[in-house]
Amino acid sequence: GAVVSQHPSRVICKSGTSVKIECRSLDFQATTMFWYRQFPKQSLMLMATSNEGSKATYEQGVEKDKFLINHASLTLSTLTVTSAHPEDSSFYICSATGTGGTTNEKLFFGSGTQLSVL
């Protein structure tokens, strides 16, 4: 099946620094990628939707200047948490969907990134 690779799996950073998380589709073209945030024992909250070559669409309440999303190619999307603060600590998950076959019927998820801001 389709594979989505997300890196890093875990990152610890100091408050005020920026962290970049990468999401790659390894064996299909991801026309659309989604970024989610998940707090412990809670559901996934959609942060933004990104389409290759265009600006991301952010959900209400998500600061686009804080969570920078770039979807420069059909296989790579990045989420940069700028000037991270402890309240940004969370589990971030990307997902992707493609075109054709079964890749456009469901989402393929990365393994997630646990961000801890000290």
Partner 1 sequence: SQQGEEDPQALSIQEGENATMNCSYKTSINNLQWYRQNSGRGLVHLILIRSNEREKHSGRLRVTLDTSKKSSSLLITASRAADTASYFCATDGGSNYKLTFGKGTLLTVNP
Which parts of this chain interact with partner 1 (CB under 8 A)? 4, 6, 32, 34, 36, 41-44, 46, 49, 91, 93, 95, 97, 104-112, 114
In the complex, least distance from residue 92 CB atom to partner 1, rounded to whole angstroms: 10
Between 18 and 104, name the residue whose CB sits nearer to partner 1.
Answer: 104
Asked whether 37 and 47 are in contact (CB, 8 A), the reply is: yes
Nearer to partner 1 by C-beta: 2 or 68? 2
CB of 25 to partner 1, least distance (A): 13
Comparing CB distances to partner 1, the nearer of 14 and 43 is 43
Residues 6+ apart with CB under 8 A from 101: none
CB of residue 42 to partner 1, shortest distance in Å: 7
Nearer to partner 1, 82 or 89 (CB): 89
